[in-house]
């Protein structure tokens, strides 16, 4: 490249999308891409080793693919030991380059959005480009909310299905129903899952190996491990992972969506969230591929609809909730939960078998499926009144797919009910008997989910009644809690 720079394009770690709006009209001869790895961004907020490796490896691969196209990429890596926050480092890099205009897609984190706007205020930056990755823009979500007293995902999801023509038969839903949950969500029972399809793994290549080494060198204090790292880190790998899911697991996705089995990490889940969240995959192509599999007879309607609801429904919905309610959303603590996060969340060392399995897997791999997050770790924190802010910091740190716009509503809203009912119509509170039904963990545990008192009392079952007692008044007006509160009254539990 010779002469002055026309456009400086900033690409953040979760914006690895060659078709994003900042590349519209991109000119290889006059434009420059800027990317940065900043150690401070892995320390605050905390990011575990596997998560950090995922982002940095995917970024390096993306930068390398751009360079192969002849694009000039200015890239600061960990070894540059840049001081300051990510926004400050990017601001410095951009100012050093000059350029007639600075372009960046809106970040997926409220705080980074504001920090970046501030850092770029003395450059030729005119505002954020829209994030075209999602089905539903922020403005469209606001229209959905207009005039509604209460938001419910189900109604939003139906609108999205109609609007985007997904899984429709004329004007109505395919098969006549919007929701096939009644056919989904079985447990494996005593006999267990039996044969499980092998999940496609992507062993670390030379780039990832170098990243792992540098993370150990420059950020040794980060929690967790990257020794087993095997997530897709390029678009080509992500497409292979999508095909692997559609071919081998989609057909049984719905049926076993809520089931757990000790030592089985993925079961019939997609393991695609990380690739989607850094935009190696677009939700449109994922939804279209899954719908095509159904139309070709590769998957039943219930599994297909169940999966599409997660991506077109929940994923878009939580993003809308995040942007509509931040920054105050993070301060929510509707149940006034104040206990500290137990230390075993960072080690997995506990004699509760369900938590040992879910947390151990999380720290080792950076992945746990939805029901492990909601009904094992999340449930424990909810029942034991752990401060939602600390719960949020843990989830944001440990999962490879964790980015604020999706993590915060799931933790603060769905799992901890700290938003007082914006996301979920009632707290997901249950006893250990739920875990006994959905998993085999209890059979290898020193506690008994049926026992409420004494040495063998299951900490979930015991805490469930304490939770209801503690929150009896706060939840009294919630019709969906009426039966649980009636059961509490019948037991005659005294105030705790
Ligand atoms: P599958 O079970 O196969 O589902 C398919 C896809 O649907 C996922 O890849 C994901 O993109 C989407 N999806 C499913 N459920 C949700 C949901 N509740 N919200 C948004 N999208 C959803 N997901 C994240 O991507 N990042 C997070 O940081 C995150 N934190 C969570 C924290 C808690 C407490 C809970 C209860 C859920 C969280 N989720 C998060 C949602 C969900 O658990 C993960 O998306 C899912 O487990 C990822 O694994 P998978 O790709 O195998 O998903
Ligand atoms: Fe978890 Fe309680 Fe079952 Fe033990 S008995 S595995 S603590 S639910």
Q: How far is CA 78 from CA 50, 57, 82, 86, 219, in A?
A: 16, 12, 8, 12, 9
Q: Say if residues 436 and 449 touch (Cβ distance below 8 Å).
A: yes
Residue nearest to atom 2 of ligand 2 (CA): 458
From residue 214, give the alpha-carbon distance in Å to each of 49, 57, 93, 119: 11, 11, 22, 27
Give distance in angstroms: CA of 436 to centre of ligand 2: 7
Ligand 1 atom closest to Cα of 401? Answer: 26
C-alpha 383 – ligand 1 centre gap (Å): 21
**Helix residue ranges per DSSP H, 331-387:** 353-365, 370-372, 378-383
Return the ligand number nearest the Cα of 370: 1
Q: What is the pLDDT, as a whole number, of residue 495? A: 44
pLDDT of residue 80: 85
3-state secondary structure of 386: strand
Whether residue 495 has a cis bond before it, omega within 30° of 0: no
pLDDT at position 183: 83
Tell me 169's DSSP state: E
174 lines ligand 1 (CB under 6 A): no
Q: How far is CA 43 from the centre of its chain?
A: 19
The residues, any chain, with a CB within 8 Å of residue 95's CB and separated by 6 or more, are 122, 123
- The pLDDT value recorded for residue 42 is 92
Query: Does ligand 2 lie within 6 Å of residue 447's CB atom?
Result: yes
Nearest ligand 2 atom to alpha carbon 460: 2
Instruction: Output the pTM of the full model.
Output: 0.97
Q: Give the atom of ligand 1 at the shortest distance from the alpha carbon of 415.
A: 34
Q: Whose CA is nearest to atom 8 of ligand 2?
A: 432
Ligand 2: centre distance to CA 385 (Å) = 18
| Nearest ligand (C-alpha, residue 439) | 2
Cβ of 369 less than 6 Å from ligand 1: yes
Enter the tokens of residue 25: 């009209």
Ligand with an atom nearest the CA of residue 435: 2
By alpha-carbon position, which residue is closest to atom 1 of ligand 2? 354
The whole-number mean pLDDT for each consecutive block of 10 residues of the chain, a chain of 496 residues, reads 84 97 96 96 95 98 98 94 90 95 96 96 92 96 93 95 98 96 86 92 97 96 96 98 98 94 96 98 98 97 97 98 96 97 98 98 97 98 98 98 98 97 94 96 97 96 97 94 94 56
Any atom of ligand 2 within 6 Å of the Cβ of 464:
no
- Residue 46 backbone dihedrals phi, psi, to 5 degrees: -65, 140
- Determine the Cα angle at 187 with ends 181 and 191, to 5°: 150
């Amino acid at each position: 490249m010779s002469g002055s720079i026309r456009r400086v394009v900033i690409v953040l770690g979760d914006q690895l999308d060659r078709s994003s709006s900042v590349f519209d009209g991109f000119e290889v001869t006059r434009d420059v891409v800027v990317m940065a790895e900043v150690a401070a961004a892995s320390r605050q907020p905390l990011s575990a080793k596997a998560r950090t490796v995922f982002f940095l490896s995917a970024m390096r691969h993306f930068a390398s693919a751009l360079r192969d196209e002849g694009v000039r990429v200015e890239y600061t890596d960990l070894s540059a030991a840049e001081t300051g926050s990510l926004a400050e480092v990017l601001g410095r890099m951009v100012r050093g380059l000059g350029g007639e205009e600075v372009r960046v897609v809106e970040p997926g984190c409220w705080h980074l959005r504001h920090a970046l706007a501030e850092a770029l205020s003395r450059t030729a930056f005119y505002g954020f480009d829209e994030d075209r990755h999602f089905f539903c823009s922020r403005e469209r979500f606001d229209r959905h909310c207009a005039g509604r007293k209460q938001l419910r995902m189900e109604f939003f999801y139906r609108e999205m299905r109609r609007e985007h023509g997904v899984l429709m038969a004329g004007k109505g839903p395919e098969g006549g129903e919007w929701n096939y949950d009644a056919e989904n969500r079985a447990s494996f029972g005593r006999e267990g899952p039996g044969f499980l399809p092998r999940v496609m793994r992507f062993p670390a290549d030379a780039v990832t190996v170098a990243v792992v080494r540098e993370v150990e060198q420059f950020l040794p204090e980060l929690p967790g491990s990257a020794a087993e790292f095997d997530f897709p880190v390029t678009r080509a790998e992500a497409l292979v992972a999508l095909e692997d899911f559609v071919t081998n697991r989609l057909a049984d996705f719905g049926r076993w969506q809520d089931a757990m089995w000790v030592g089985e990490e993925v079961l019939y889940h997609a393991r695609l969230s990380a690739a989607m969240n850094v935009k190696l995959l677009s939700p449109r192509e994922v939804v279209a591929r899954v719908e095509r599999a159904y139309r070709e007879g590769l998957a039943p309607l219930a599994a297909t609809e169940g999966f599409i609801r997660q991506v077109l429904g929940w994923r878009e919905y939580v993003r809308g909730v995040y942007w509509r309610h931040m920054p105050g959303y993070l301060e929510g603590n509707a149940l006034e939960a104040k206990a500290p996060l137990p230390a075993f969340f960072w080690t997995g060392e506990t004699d509760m078998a369900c938590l040992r399995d879910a947390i151990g897997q999380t720290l080792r791999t950076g992945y746990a499926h939805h029901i492990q997050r909601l009904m094992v770790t999340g449930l424990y924190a909810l029942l034991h009144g752990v401060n939602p802010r600390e719960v949020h910091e843990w989830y944001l740190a440990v999962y490879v797919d964790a980015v604020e716009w999706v993590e915060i509503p799931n933790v603060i809203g769905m799992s901890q009910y700290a938003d007082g009912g914006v996301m979920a119509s009632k707290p997901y509170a249950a006893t250990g008997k739920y875990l006994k039904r959905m998993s085999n963990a209890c059979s290898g545990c020193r506690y008994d989910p049926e026992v409420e008192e004494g040495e063998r009392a299951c900490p979930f079952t015991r805490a469930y009644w304490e939770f209801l007692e503690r929150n009896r008044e706060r939840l009294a007006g919630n019709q969906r809690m009426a039966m649980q509160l009636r059961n509490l009254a019948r037991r005659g539990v005294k105030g705790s």
